[in-house]
Structure formats: structure tokens, C-alpha cells
Amino acid sequence: MRAPGSPDESVPLEVLLSHVAAGDHAAYDVLYGRATGLVHAVARRTVRDGVRAQEVAQESLLLMWTEAARFDSARGSARSWIATLTHRRAVDAVRHDQASADREQLYPWIDGADVDPVADAVLQRLEHAEIRGCLGSLTSLQRQAVTMAYYDGCTYAQIASKTGGSVSAVKTRVRDAMIRLRRCLDERRDADSGRAQADRGQVSC
């Protein structure tokens, strides 16, 4: 049964995204369920490897939460925005994997741990790098829950079973983690914006 005040399944995706941008967890749950099919379809069309496509899909579903505020209905539909977000993440993954494979062919004696991290960062989208970086702001339990849910594709019930907690506790842990991730991303972007403005102010003819 739908909880009182929760978004109805018939609510347009555009409206759901606006609620998600405001931090509405119930809206995100509905959006997650309705967008999952589209996200996985786009990921599978772009990424040939099934396991990698699953990873891309989970990362894209997480991005729907952290990037919802960037959606602009004046520039297109919510469905197009979600598909584009997923496609970009998938293309980044393909480019990154191809670059890694090319390096291994050219320099087979180089261990993966010695690969230039700057080159890897350039090959991945900023959003993905930011999320990875912000995972460090979570508690160990929150990080474990988010990793299992969005990178390993586990359901709340599976996470609860593997970690020995209750489903409600896992949901709370993931939602608290989402709030921390959003705060971390906002702080990083504010800091980057401040540095960019400072750099522009130092430029002279």
C-alpha cells in the first residue's frame, strides 16, 4: 500500500524529478522503479559487456538522485534527460575500458596500479569522479549499503540479509547516505566555482 503523501505512480516523470531535486525520498523510490527499465535498456545498447552495463545502470540510477536539480523541463522531457544521462555515463565507461585495454596492449608489463590516475580521471565524467570522491564522506555502514545497492545491484532485502540488519535499517542508512552525498557534491561544486571565479579575477591583459 502506498504511504500517505507518497507520489502516485501516475505522476509525470518531470514532476517526480522536481520532487527528487528537493530531496523527496519517496519520489525517488517511484522514479527509480519507473526509470529502471529505460536506464538498463540504454546501458545495454551502449555497453556490450553485461556486467559492465549493469554497473553503468546502477551508477546512472544513483546520478538521478544526485543530479536531479540539473533537469530543466524547458530543454526536454524527463525521459530524454534520463536516457541522455545514462548514455553519457555508458560512453564514459566504454572509453575508459577501451583506454585501459589499449594501455595493456601497448605496455603489458605495467601493472594496473601504476597507471597514471590523471589520465583515468580525464576519461571519466566529472559526475562519476565526484561521487566516488564523496563516498569517503560516508560512514563505513553507509558506504557499504550504497555500494551494495548502487554498484553491486543488491536489493534492500539482500543487503539486510548479507549485513545482518533489518530492511528498514538499510533503507534509512541508504537515504542518510544520499543526503550526505548530495551535501558533499554541492560543497565540492561550490568550492570549484569559487576557485574558478578567483582564477578569472587574477587574469590580466
Between CA 199 and CA 193 the distance in angstroms is 10
Q: Which three cell numbers stand for residue 43?
A: 546501458
Check pLDDT > 50 for residue 109. no
pLDDT: is 197 or 27 the higher one? 27
Q: What is the pTM of this model?
A: 0.53
Q: Which three cell numbers stand for residue 81?
A: 534527460
Q: What is the pLDDT of residue 112?
A: 42
Q: What is the pLDDT of residue 178?
A: 79
Q: How confident is the model at residue 158 (pLDDT cuts 50, 70, 90)?
A: confident
pLDDT: is 147 or 161 the higher one? 161
| Mean pLDDT (whole number) for 18-28 | 91
Other CB atoms within a 10 A radius of the CB of residue 34 amount to 16
Give the CA count within 13 Å in the CB-facing half-sphere of 69: 9
**Residue ranges of domains in the chain, CATH in brackets:** 8-124 (1.10.1740.10), 127-199 (1.10.10.10)
Q: For residue 23, is it left (φ>0), alpha (ψ between -120 and 50) or beta?
A: left
Q: How confident is the model at residue 183 (pLDDT cuts 50, 70, 90)?
A: confident
Q: What is the pLDDT of residue 6?
A: 53
Residue 169's alpha-carbon distances to 137, 163, 182, in angstroms, are 19, 11, 20
Between CA 103 and CA 97 the distance in angstroms is 10
Burial category of 63 from C-beta neighbours within 10 Å (exposed 0-12, middle 13-18, buried 19 and up) = buried
3-state helix, strand, coil in the chain (%, to 5): 80, 0, 20
Cα 15 versus chain centre, distance: 20
What is the rounded average pLDDT for all residues in the chain? 76
Check pLDDT > 60 for residue 120. no
